[in-house]
Structure formats: C-alpha cells, structure tokens
A and B are shown apart, each in its own frame.
Chain A
Amino acid sequence: MVAASINAALGRAGLMLMLGGAVFGALAVLYGIRRRDAKLLRQSPRYAWLALAGIVLAVAMMQRALITRDFSLAYVQQVGSADTPVLFNVAAMWSALEGSILLWALVLTGFTGAVAWRFRRRTDDVLVGWALIVMFAVTAFFALLSFGPADPFAAGAPGVTSGPGPNPLLQNHILVLFHPPILYLGYVGFTVPFAFAIAALVTGRLGEGWLMETRRWALFSWAFLTIGILLGGWWSYEVLGWSGVWAWDPVENASLLPWLTGTAYIHSVLVQERRGMLRVWNLTLLVATFALTILGTFLTRSGVINSVHAFGDGPVGAWFLTFFAAIMIVSLGLIAWRGDRLRSPGAIDSPLSREGAFLANNVIFTVFAFVVLLGTIFPLLVEALDDRRTVVGAPYFDRLSMPIGLVLLFLMAVAPVLPWRKASTELLRDRLFWPAWLGAGALFVAVFAGATGWAPLVAFGLAGFAAGAALRQVVLATRRQGWRGLVGRANGGMIVHLGVIMIAVALASSNSFTHSATLPLAEGDVVEWGGHTFELASVTERVNDRGSESVLAANVILDGGRTYSPAITTYLNIGQAVGTPSVRTGLTKDVYLTLEAGAQAGDSEATIRAFVKPMILWLWLGGFVMAVGTLLAAFPGSRRRRATDPVSAPIDTTPDHASADPVEVGR
C-alpha cells in the first residue's frame, strides 16, 4: 500500500488509528470484564477517543483531498472536479460508495464516543462494557471495509488531472449537504440500542434497565431517520423533475425498512417498560432494525438488486452479506440461549387495551416491513428461481401500503384513548365521541373541497378521527398541567402523531388528486389549464461563470404574477442534461413546472409540463411537527411515578366509572 499523496498517507493513518482503537478497545474491555479489572475498564473511553480521532483525521484528509483537487486519489478522480462549487465539493465525499462508508464510519465512531462519554462513570458496569464491545466491533467492521473493498484512499491512475465531479443530480440542491448525514445519524444511531440489547443478552440482565438507558438514543435515531427520509423526498421533489417524492426504489426502501421496524419498536417498548412483557419481541425488533440497515446497504451497494448475476462483482456486497449473517446468527443464538430468562411473568388481559393496540400496531408495522422487503427482493427471487427478469414497481407498493396506511390511521385514532389493561365499550363510547365527529368533519370538508373516491375519503375521515384523538389527549393534558402537558412521552407522542397525520393527508391527496398536462406555449399567448394561466416570456440560455454548466430555461409567467423558470441544465464536462423543475409552493397546492426537451435559446415557443399537486407543503410541515414532537417526547413529563404506584387505574365496577380521569400522564 504505497500512499499516493500526503492526503492518502494521513488518511490511511487515520483509518488505521480508528481500526486500532476499535479492535484494541473491544479486546481491552473484554479482558477487563473477564478479569474484573476496574482499572482497565476505566480506560475504555480512551479507545473510543482514539478511534474518533482516527476517523476525524481520515475525513479531514478526504476533505482536504477534495478541496485541493488531489487527483492522485482514485476517489477524487471519480467524484472530484475543478468545477464543483465549494459546498457540493464538501458533499462530494458521500456521493459514491467509498466516501459514504467513510461518512458512516464517522457517524458510527461518533456514536461510540458519545456512548463512552455518557457512561464514562459506569465503565465497571458489565452491561456498559458489553455494549461498548459491540460498538467497537461494528466500528472495526467499517474500518476494515475501508481497507478492503471500499478504500477511499486508493491511488488512482497516474496522469489524471481532472475528474467529472459528482453525479450532476448531486450538485444542484442544498439538500445534498443535509440529507445523507441526517439519514446516517438515524441509520447508524440504531447501533446504540442494538449494542445494549446484545449486552443485555450477554450479561443476562434482561430486565428493563437497558431499555431505559437507550430510550432516548432510540428516539433520536428514529427522529433523524424520519427527517432524513423526508429530506430525501424533498430532494427528489425539488431536483428529479418527475414531481414525486417517493418512487419506492430499492435505495428508498432500504431506508424505510429500518424506519418501519424502528417505529414498531418505539411503540412496543412502552409495553415492556410498563408491564415487563414482550421482551423477546422487543429484542427481535431491535436486532431486525439494525440488521435491516446492513441488509439494505448490502442490497443497494452491491449491485445485486440490478441483477442477481452481478452477485460476485462487488466485493462490498459479500462483506455486508457476511456481516448481516453474523449479526443474525449471534443475535438469534443469544436470544435462544437466554430463552428461559426472557419469559415474562405478566399477561395481557384484553385485546381492547393500550397494550393490545400496541400489539396490533406491531403486527401492522411488521407486515408493512415484510411487504416492502418482499417487493424489493422479489425480482431477485424470480431471477434466482425462475431465471427471468421482472420488476416490482411503485404501483405494487402503493396498492399494498394503502390499506396498511388506513389501518394504521384507525389505530392512531383508537389507541391513544385506550387505558392500560382493559377498556370497556362505555369508555370508548365516551372518549371517542368527539374525535369521531372531528373525523366526520374532516370527511365533510374533504367532500366539500371536491375530493372523490373511496380510499382518499376514508383516509381523510380517519385522519380527522386520529387527529381528534391526539388533540383530545393534548388538550386534557395541557388543561391539567399547563405547558407541561406538552412534554413527556405520551403527550409528545401525540404531537408526533399529528405530524404523521399531516403527512398521511398530504400523501393521500397528492397521490390521488394530482393532475398534469403538457402545454405548448408561445410568447404573447396566454394558455389556460387547471385553473391557472401560463404565458411564455422568453427562452434563455445561461452558462455559469466557470463554463461548466449551461441552463436552458423557459421563463413562464404563472397566473399573471411571478415568473417561474423550469429549465434543462446541461453539465458541459460530461454532456449530461438534467431537468430542473420550478415550483410554486402553496398552502393547498403546488404548481410544478418542468421544461420538455426541444426548445432553443431565443425561441418564442417552448413546451412545458405542468403538474398541479395538492397539499405537498403539508409533507414538510408534518415532518417538522414530528421532529418537534419527538423532542418534546424525549423529555420526561412533570410527574414521575413512584415505583410502587399501580401501573394503571384499577378496573372500576361501578356503573359511572366512564367519567374517570382519562388522562395518562407522561412519565
């Protein structure tokens, strides 16, 4: 391994340091636990700092190589270019495989460091020790990847003095800077609860302790994953020019899969905290979440999804698949080994209870994850078993996710009013009354606004119903506790639900009521379509200062007001042209314009494609509300329960108990 330049030499050194810190960290903690050597264990955070220093050095060197356009590196030859603007040059690091692994390693090592810092006073705790071992082991795997099949500092072909830069799609929107790192924060963050789950299995401390330790880690990872996925949708909408936010392509599915199992987990974990039940199930969900991040990376990075015959091509694929198999074997083996201790003493009394609703939620989310996984790998199965090519595309996922989404909305409506243990029909009749009327109101408004079709109307009605249930909880809690009624798990969770409902409504309406048209425009001619007017002002072509890209834009006056300029951007170095949409965002609908190929600068005619898409803005607003809600949920409520308080109100047998206090105080 002869280093190609100073950047490569120091970068490699950094990776070596990271690998060393991780490997020796794991060994030292293991040895310390075996020997019960508290002094040795006290040093364990230092290995995490070492590994962190190493990866920070490696990332800094990669950035330096990109900034100085060090074309002696194969990676810079691949994604670097003299023409890339500064910000997108930073983002160029994660625009291909090797740099993505580097980013992953950075985030992962950051999390390892954070765990080491958070638990620095409890290094002699075996649970923390084993969690660190798992974190170090995963870190070592990613460090090894950087020395094996995904070497970011490999020497490039000699004599190369320029490169194409990142994929053009990755250099014309600011979200490229934020979407991948935030997504990775979520993706990688689930390593922490996973590590503690494995630690709990190894140490046999399978009570609720490890759950409490990792509650916020799981919550924040989940929130980052949510935001990351939504930012991806936003990027797709603003950049790709097909007017959609979600195409169900394998890469998107790979990020959705852990989100689905993670969402199931953050619900079912409440049952375990409260009732001490579902231990195996929660462990399984965490293992599944972590394993699915690895499997998803395997599916999308190995090229296997394109064709099963390309299986042997990417060595990265084999690495990830092996790692995935190792995770499954170790985790399932540990769960089987600890089977006797995992049996929980309690029983769930009734399906019509908070626990019952969480279980139903889990079944639905698991089935959802199964559907997404099945649809994603089905072409592989067909090719392997039947030797022919097929595609499973968006319509399949749309068709199946629609009923699943409706059931989830219904659960969101009913579950928040259910008490723990057992609910009576009188209680449901009482508590669901106004939420149900809100649902009817939402349905009425939707019909009044012109919505048609069974599926979207049912979705709007259920969304109103669910919003009513969430608002009911928030109103009752704030009436009792003032602003404190907004914080805590139960109340913050309701804010998250409101965000989810906003997104559900946005998806239902934009999927069902989008209209589009191809409009030939001519200067001085006002074309009317879909309640809007379009007038072509000019067709212009502009080359940027560096001469690297030319933007051919049709300047269209929309509704006699502002001018919008859908364009075709041509990257002159590689000769690739990309459509750049222009969007007028509004509270109830977006007007989304793209330019069709064929126009020339100075023409007095151009053909544009116009989409009118309702409610898109509510996707992003809903995401914001979800983020705020998660933040509120992460903080404990005002009142902590005493350990000996009964976990739920005793079931009253007197007839008028329906008016019993319904508010569940966040813990």
Chain B
Amino acid sequence: MRAWNQRLKRWPGWAALLVVVVVVLAVGATRSTGPQTQEDRIDAIARRVACPVCDGESVYESRNNASVAIRNEITDLVRENRSSDDQIVGFIENRYGAEVLLVPRASGFDALVWVLPAVAFVAGVAGLAVAFQRWKLQAAATGAPTDADRALVDAARRADGAEP
C-alpha cells in the first residue's frame, strides 16, 4: 500500500493531475453559458453606476428614487438592445457626471488607485527578496557548526534529560 502510494506520487501521478486540471479547466472556462438574460445585463450595468445622492452605494443596491430612476433608464437602454454595456455606462456618465462611475477611470490622477496597489505588491515582493538575500549572506558568514558548538548543544540536552 505504502510503496504503491509512493510510486503513484512520482511524476506520472503529477502529470496525470496536470492533464486532468488543464482539460477540466479548459472545458469549464470556455463553454458557453447560454445567452445572458436582460435582467442579468441590467444588474451588471447597475453595479457599475453609483447612486448620485448616497455615498458609494451602487444603483443596484440603493433603493432611493434617484437610483430607481437611473435603474429604469438602464433598463430601457438594455431593452432597446442597441448599445453595449460600456456605451450605456458612458451614456449615464454623460448625463450625471463622472462621479457616478463606481469603477475609477484608469487615466489621469485616478489611475493612481490602480497603480499604487501594483507598486505596493512589487515593493513587498522586492522587500522579501532583499531580506532573503541578506539572510543568505548572513547564514553563509556564520559558517558550519564546529565540534565545540555540537558539544555545547549535547551538554544542554543531556542536562534537560533528552536523548543525546
């Protein structure tokens, strides 16, 4: 049983895993989901538009009149079925101003909100890399344990009653 388990875990087992994952993922991710309903489309667009009078809520969540009005407008535009999602959002933006966009634009000053997280991530990873480099140098400078070190550890462990 154990030997069998070990043999399975060599490369053929992993290769089989890779094949299975790639195939299943490809099948699942690329298959058609059926036509998107109008309601789903309306919801998706409504989630991208902020309610103009309440801070931060989307017109999808918000229940006040201004939001209902915008939602109805989106509904009409979707039912007309002439414009793409982005065009509809652009239309709403033209009417109500850029502050109704819940997703900040990736241009001008607003681009910072996208750039800074990436910068933070890169800085974090770079910081880790530098730290590991320093630890490596530090460990190399320490050198291998000497016989005197080993004797010291053994003595301490004997004093504690552990097996040497």
Which residues of A are at the interface with B, using a C-beta cutoff of 8 A? 240-242, 244, 247-250, 305-306, 347-351, 356, 359-360, 363-364, 366-367, 370-371, 374-375, 378, 381-382, 385-386, 388-396, 399-400, 429-430, 433, 436-437, 439-440, 443-444, 446-447, 451-454, 457-458, 461, 515-518, 579, 642-645, 659
Nearest-neighbour CB distance to chain B for A86, whole angstroms, equals 28
In the bound complex, CA of A389 to CA of B53 (Å): 12
Q: Which of B25, B28, B56, B124 contacts A250 (CB 8 A)?
A: B56
A443 with B109: CB separation less than 8 A:
no
B102 with A395: CB separation less than 8 A:
yes
Contacts of B162 in A (CB 8 A): 642, 644-645
Report 23 cross-chain contacts, Cβ distance below 8 Å, ordered by A residue: A347-B135, A348-B132, A349-B135, A363-B124, A364-B124, A370-B116, A390-B99, A390-B101, A391-B55, A392-B56, A392-B102, A392-B104, A394-B47, A430-B9, A433-B8, A440-B20, A443-B21, A443-B24, A452-B33, A453-B28, A453-B33, A515-B37, A642-B162
Contact-residue size bin, chain B (C-beta under 8 Å from the other chain): 35 or more
Contacts of A396 in B (CB 8 A): 102-104, 113
Which chain B residue lies CB-closest to A455? B29
Known: A382-B109, A440-B21, A644-B157. Is A347-B40 also a contact (CB below 8 A)?
no
B144 in the interface (beta carbon within 8 A): no
Closest A-B pairs by Cβ, 6 of them: A393-B102, A447-B28, A347-B135, A242-B61, A363-B124, A389-B99
Which chain B residue lies CB-closest to A444? B24
Which chain B residue lies CB-closest to A445? B24
B39 with A391: CB separation less than 8 A:
no
Nearest-neighbour CB distance to chain B for A407, whole angstroms, equals 10
Q: Is the interface of A mostly helix, strand, loop or mixed?
A: helix
In the bound complex, CA of A535 to CA of B104 (Å): 42
Nearest-neighbour CB distance to chain B for A578, whole angstroms, equals 8
Which chain A residue lies CB-closest to B97? A389
Q: Which of A350, A400, A454 contacts B29 (CB 8 A)?
A: A454
B29 with A453: CB separation less than 8 A:
yes
B121 in the interface (beta carbon within 8 A): yes
Contacts of B113 in A (CB 8 A): 374-375, 378, 392, 396
Which chain B residue lies CB-closest to A370? B120
Residue-by-residue, is B107-148 near A (CB-CB < 8 Å gives 1, otherwise 0)?
001101100110011001101100110011011001000000
B13, B39, B48 — which one has the most chain A CB atoms within 10 A of its CB?
Answer: B39
Nearest-neighbour CB distance to chain A for B85, whole angstroms, equals 12
Nearest-neighbour CB distance to chain B for A80, whole angstroms, equals 26
In the bound complex, CA of A242 to CA of B62 (Å): 8
Nearest-neighbour CB distance to chain A for B30, whole angstroms, equals 8
Contacts of B39 in A (CB 8 A): 515-518
Contacts of B56 in A (CB 8 A): 247-250, 391-393
Which chain A residue lies CB-closest to B161? A642
In the bound complex, CA of A240 to CA of B57 (Å): 12
Known: A347-B138, A396-B102. Is A360-B57 also a contact (CB below 8 A)?
no
A390 with B98: CB separation less than 8 A:
yes
